[in-house]
Amino acid sequence: MIGEGFHAELGGLHAERAALEDCRTRGEDPAGATMYVTLEPCAHTGRQPPCTEAILEAGISRVVIASDDPSEKAAGRGPGILRDGGVEVEFAAGEEATTARLLNQPFRKHARTGLPLVTLKLAMSLDGQASTAPGDSPWISGEKSRALVHQWRAESDAIAVGIGTVLADDPLLTARPPDRSGASFPPMAGEKRTGTVVRQPVRVVFDRQARLPLGSQLLRTLDQGPVLVVVSPGADASRTAALREAGAEVLVAEGIEAALADLGRRNITSLFLEGGPTLATAFQAAGQLDQARTFIAPILLGAGDQDASRAGGVGDGGVEDGPWPARSAPPSPTTGPARQEPLSHTVQTIGEDTLITARFKEW
Ligand SMILES: NC(=O)c1ccc[n+]([C@@H]2O[C@H](COP(=O)([O-])OP(=O)(O)OC[C@H]3O[C@@H](n4cnc5c(N)ncnc54)[C@H](OP(=O)(O)O)[C@@H]3O)[C@@H](O)[C@H]2O)c1
């Protein structure tokens, strides 16, 4: 192995050019070498020049490709150009091909459908509760699970919750993964850590009636990441104007698929759906859940007082628009969505919790 590379960020060197650079840094000549790539090399000029050019210029003699690029602008052109240039091109099959496809699910879904890949995260107790009682901590899962959730947030382009969760918990929804020393939840992101800045996802609230309180933590922390509120076309104009005035971006969309299409147009390729249960059910009913990560914590929670808001402390925190609205019980759907079996699933132990990861669609 004489060099390796990966596509580190949007606008940065593609994996092929990064690998060739790495060869040169190591004093190796890539001419005559075989290049193994997870994704078909691009043949078009985007933010970067075509990778096919770099491969031909470097004199690579053989390229092994683990997965095709499903975007329209690619569609097999790269391999064709390489073959025309005298490079031997092979496509991997079997396990390598599957692994490469799974590695690139957000990119592949976005390329094929224009929609982001949706991953649902939910935590529940042994008695099937997804909410804690008023006055209790909002957390159901343990510390190790929460650290993992922060890692997943940092890996996602956007995080979404329903307005019910914002009214109950007043969450921050930023990515605060543990640092390398193992200490969880270090100070706010944006700060440097081991040479990289934690990437903050766009924070999305599904809020048809534009009820997001102007004093919510989300709107008070716009310096830590953008907030996008999805409202319905019928939402009160003065409320949406107030949200815009407060610095939120307002997306007007009727239904979940239209909202996802709009997010996709904003180059959001992965949406980490953090609930609550009502929005999760709506996504499933709309056929828009690609994968799920569910934690089961070894605790009992009981039903709690569904009418009281747990976010008691929030009102003291500088809410500008009156008392925090009381939490209402999530409405139960009148027609239940059909049962869905996963394509594959795994079960893991994370600290004291059990994590079930299930994949429902593959792109
Ligand atoms: N265990 C967990 O992992 C977890 C995760 C998150 C939250 N929670 C808990 O869940 C509780 C809140 O649950 P929830 O179910 O009331 O809140 P939710 O799912 O976060 O929000 C529900 C609200 O989202 C709005 N919404 C916007 N677009 C929608 C659509 N297309 N379909 C359906 N609803 C849409 C609806 O209000 P409008 O009609 O006004 O738009 C609806 O009432 C809190 O106690 C929170 O702590 C638990």
CATH topology of domain 15-101: Cytidine Deaminase; domain 2 (3.40.140)
CB-ligand 1 contact for 168 (6 Å cutoff): yes
What is the pLDDT, as a whole number, of residue 320? 30
Which of the following is catalytic: 16, 90, 245, 257? Answer: 16
Q: Please indicate whether residue 163, judged by its CB atom, sits closer than 6 Å to ligand 1.
A: yes
Rounded distance from Cα 103 to ligand 1 centre (Å): 30
| DSSP bridge partners of 356 | 294, 347
What's residue 8's pLDDT?
Answer: 87
Angle separating helix axes 77-84 and 51-58, nearest 10 degrees? 20
- 292 C-alpha vs ligand 1 centroid, how far in Å? 17
Separation CA 228–CA 264 (nearest Å):
13
Answer yes or no: is the C-beta of 220 below 6 A from any ligand 1 atom.
no
Handedness of CA 56, 59, 62, 63 (dihedral sign): negative
Is 95 a known active-site residue? no
- What are the pLDDT digits (tens) for 155-197? 999 999 999 999 999 999 999 888 654 444 444 444 334 445 6
CA dist list (Å): 207 to 211, 243, 315: 6, 11, 20
Say if ligand 1 is within 6 A of residue 120 CB: no
Query: Looking at ligand 1, which residue's alpha carbon is closest to its atom 34?
Result: 279
Q: How far is CA 94 from CA 91, 97, 98, 129, in A?
A: 10, 5, 6, 40
Burial class (CB in 10 A: 0-12, 13-18, 19+), 232: middle
Max intra-chain CA distance, the chain: 71
- Ligand 1 atom with least separation from CA of 310: 45
> Does the beta carbon of 272 sit less than 6 angstroms from any atom of ligand 1?
no
Residue pair 21/5 in contact by the 8 Å Cβ criterion: yes
pLDDT at 308: 45
Ligand 1 atom closest to Cα of residue 255: 31
Ligand 1 centroid distance, CA of 280 (Å): 8
pLDDT of residue 28: 97
Whether ligand 1 lies within 6 angstroms of the CB of 253 is answered as no
Q: What is the best residue among 141, 148, 153, 165 to mutate for testing ligand 1's pocket, by most ligand atoms within 8 Å of CB?
A: 165
CA distance 360 to 363: 10
Global confidence as pTM: 0.85
Strands 158-162, 192-193: pairing is unpaired
Answer whether 361's CB lies under 8 Å from 341's CB: no
Tokens of 174: 């930023």
Would you state the pLDDT for residue 314? 32
Q: What is the pLDDT of residue 304?
A: 56
User: Among 118, 124, 132, 163, which residue has the most ligand 1 atoms within 8 Å of its CB, making it the best to mutate?
Assistant: 163
| Rounded distance between C-alpha atoms, residue 188 and residue 225, angstroms | 11
Both structure tokens of 35: 């290049």
CATH number of 108-330+339-359: 3.40.430.10
- Tell me, using a 6 A CB cutoff, whether residue 171 lines ligand 1: no
For the Cβ of 130 lying below 6 angstroms from any atom of ligand 1, the answer is yes
pLDDT at residue 339 in the model: 87
Low pLDDT (below 50) residues in the chain: 181-195, 307-309, 311-328
pLDDT digits (tens, 9 = 90+) for 296-352: 999 999 875 554 445 433 322 222 333 344 444 555 555 555 789 999 999 999 999
Q: Of ligand 1's atoms, which has the minimum distance to the CA of residue 124?
A: 1
CA of residue 13 relative to chain centroid, distance: 22
pLDDT of residue 36: 97
User: Alpha-carbon dihedral of residues 246, 231, 324, 200, nearest 10 degrees?
Assistant: -60
Domain with CATH 3.40.140.10 in the chain: 15-101
pLDDT at 335: 56
Between vectors from CA 237 to CA 232 and to CA 243, what angle results, nearest 5°?
85
User: Which segments of the chain belong to CATH 3.40.430.10?
Assistant: 108-330+339-359
Question: What is the rounded CA–CA span in Å between residue 38 and residue 44?
Answer: 18
